[in-house]
Structure 1
C-alpha cells in the first residue's frame, strides 16, 4: 500500500522516466505533449511543489503502451 509520500521534481523524473521539461509540457494545455490526465502538483511552499506518489502511480497504471 502506498503512503501519502510526496515526490519533488527529481523523484518524479526518475519515477516516470520523463525529463523536467516534458513533465511541465504535460501540464501545459498549449503544448502538443499536453495530457489532461497527468496529476497536478500541490504547492508545498512559496517556491516548492510536489506530486502525491499515489497519483503518479495511478497515472502510470493507466498509460497504455499502444498509445506511444
Structure 2
C-alpha cells in the first residue's frame, strides 16, 4: 500500500472538480457531504492531505458499483 499523500489542489485536478467541492465532500455540515469519501489527514495547522491509496480505492469502488448496478438495493417496491 502506498503512503504517498496528495494535497487538495492536486486531488481536485485529478477528480476534475474544484477545491471547494472536495471540502464540501468531507464536511459533515455541508449538504454535499459524502461520508464514503476518504478523510483527509491534518499534517500541520495549514497543511491537509489525503492518502493516494485511499483515493484510488474509493475510485475503484465507485467504478465497480457503476459496472454492477444490480448489486445495489433499490427503494422502489422493496
Q: Output the CA distance in 2 between the equivalents of 1:47 and 1:26.
A: 19
Give the paired residue count: 65
Structure 1 segments (4+ residues) deviating >4 Å: none
1:1-68 superposed matches below 5 A: 3-63=2-62, 64-65=65-66
Instruction: Provide the TM-score with structure 2 as the length reference.
Output: 0.71
Unaligned runs of 5+ in 2: 70-78
Unaligned runs of 5+ in 1: none
- RMSD over aligned Cα atoms: 1.7
Instruction: Provide the TM-score with structure 1 as the length reference.
Output: 0.80
Cα deviation code 1:9-67 (max 9, x no counterpart): 1211111222111111111222221110111111111210100000011111122457x
- Greater relative contact order (CA < 8 Å, ≥ 6 in sequence): 1
